Amino acid sequence: MTCEKTQEKFADYLTGDLDETGRGEVRKHILDCGACREDLENLTVVWAKLGVLPEEQPGSAVRSRFYAMLEDYKAAQPVGSKSRWTDWLTFRRPAFAASFSAFLLLLGVGAGWFLTGARPGGEKYASLSREVQDMRQQVALSLLSKPSASDRIQGVSYSAEVANPNDTTLAALFKAVDSDPNPNVRLAAVDALYLFRDRPGVRESLVKSLSAQSYPLVQVALIDFLVEVRETRAIEALKKLIDAGELTPEVKKRAEQGLKQITV
């Protein structure tokens, strides 16, 4: 292999992205070529030296300015803008598509009443809407009690589509976070609860869960959640978690970082 071809592989060599064949070719070449060997040695040293540069955290003003900017932007958006419609009509998730289909079905029934002369008043429309919500919640609860993890994940997705879930649905989500045997269901439930973060009891429940979880990804998801909502009641739980010394290094780092973010 020529010097030029060898040097082309240096970048991948440094990051470890070169396969074994490529590494072998580089090693073989530098055994015979002193210039390339010296070149690679210098690059390896400087590559390692770059690692000593510390990562800094931006000042807290960055976060304040961002959230102020976002609030201003949201306030300037027209209410019920077109984007909400496109959002509503976007079928990205099967659960959403299914519940939307059910809504259309019930809408069809309503239209039937209308066309057959049994014209429903405002109360009937409200009743129809409640029926759709109830149906979604029933489906969600039913799926959440299934033995299959994928069914339970779909149950979580259904519950996330409920505009204003009742206490039973929320309790089912709390239970999923706390005790579902499958960590992916627990993670999905944490994400779903983010949508209902302003409902009473949601944040408290997740603060409690933080102390009980042992699966790293769920711990990180809970920390992310509580940091995003700036839940000060999580401070004590985070401190205990860090002090207990049972966290993986990644989770510990995230917990320490989260503690700083909440206390800013």
Partner 1 sequence: MNADHSEKEKTGRMSPTDNELMEAVRDGRVEKLAVLFERYQTMLYNFFLRLTGNRAASEDLVQEVFVRVLKYRAGYLGDSRFNVWLFQIARNAHIDHLRKQKPALSLDEQFAEAPSHEPQPDTAYENDREAELVRRALDRLPVQKREILVLFRFQNLKLREIAELMGVQVGTVKAQVHRALKDLSRIYLELQGGNVS
Q: Which residues of the chain form contacts with partner 1 (CB under 8 A)? A: 7-12, 14-15, 17, 39, 42-43, 45-47, 49-50, 52-59, 61-63, 65-67, 69-70, 73-74, 77, 81-84, 86-87, 90, 92, 153, 156, 184, 187-188, 191, 217, 221, 224, 227-228
Quick one: three-class SS letters along 185-235? HHHHHHHHHHHCCCCCCHHHHHHHHHHHCCCHHHHHHHHHHHHHCCCCCHH
Query: Which tokens in the block code for residue 139?
Result: 């489906």
Closest CB 204 distance from partner 1, rounded Å: 22
Residue 213 and residue 219 in contact, taking contact as beta carbons nearer than 8 Å: yes
Closest CB 119 distance from partner 1, rounded Å: 33
What length is written for the chain?
Answer: 264
Residue 190 and residue 222 in contact, taking contact as beta carbons nearer than 8 Å: yes
Q: Between 110 and 187, whose beta carbon lies closer to partner 1?
A: 187
Closest CB 224 distance from partner 1, rounded Å: 8
Q: Between 221 and 255, whose beta carbon lies closer to partner 1?
A: 221
Q: On the CB side of 228, how many CA atoms lie within 13 Å of its CA?
A: 15
Q: Between 3 and 31, whose beta carbon lies closer to partner 1?
A: 3
What sign results for the dihedral spanned by CA atoms 28, 31, 35, 39? positive
Q: Between 99 and 157, whose beta carbon lies closer to partner 1?
A: 157
Q: Between 49 and 119, whose beta carbon lies closer to partner 1?
A: 49
